[in-house]
Amino acid sequence: MWKLTGLAVMAVLQLGLSSGSAVETLTLSGNPLSLMVSTALAGLQPDAVLDQATTYDVSVTQTSQIAVQLTSSLPSGLTLRVRMDAPAGAVSAGYVSLTTTAQDLVTSIPSGSYSELTVSYEISGTVSASVVALNTVDVDFTLTAQ
């Protein structure tokens, strides 16, 4: 009986060690360039500013999704939108206006590795935002199984 028990323990240990853990990675190429709202056509709201200089790499072993949120709110009158190009087979939500609440940005990412996909940042401000001194805000991109 003890021999049988010992075998059972070994089997459980072997199952645990060989299951492996899913390796999911999300990497950004860097931060966007500084976004400065500084122009307008007379009669219209200030011009939005767009940056598409950064990319992301993602590697997943199961269907996954990326959500996005700000870590703190922007000043009143300012809106930051982000868009991630979708990997093949995935779905991009297009431009998403960021808040401190997580929102889906890319969904249905199939298992695989994908690289150098464009991340677009757009900032816009209304005239009511007034002058805003140079500042920063962090944007969290979270990869999870879907």
Q: What is the contact surface with another protein in residues (CB under 8 A)? A: 1-2, 4-6, 8-9, 12-13, 15-17, 19-28, 30-46, 54, 56, 61, 71, 74, 78, 80, 119, 121, 123, 125, 127-145
Buried b (16+ CB within 10 A) or exposed e, 82-92: bbbbbbeebeb
**Least distance between another protein and beta carbon 95 (Å):** 14
The DSSP output letter for 129 is G
Nearest to 46 by CA among 79, 92, 20: 79
**Least distance between another protein and beta carbon 29 (Å):** 9
**Cβ nearer to another protein, comparing 91 with 137:** 137
**Least distance between another protein and beta carbon 18 (Å):** 9
Which structure tokens are listed for 30?
A: 């860097």
**Cβ nearer to another protein, comparing 25 with 89:** 25
Residue for token pair 């400065």: 36
Distances (CA, A) of 10 to 2, 4, 13, 18: 12, 10, 5, 12
12: region left, alpha or beta (phi > 0 left; psi from -120 to 50 alpha): alpha
**Least distance between another protein and beta carbon 94 (Å):** 18
**Least distance between another protein and beta carbon 67 (Å):** 9
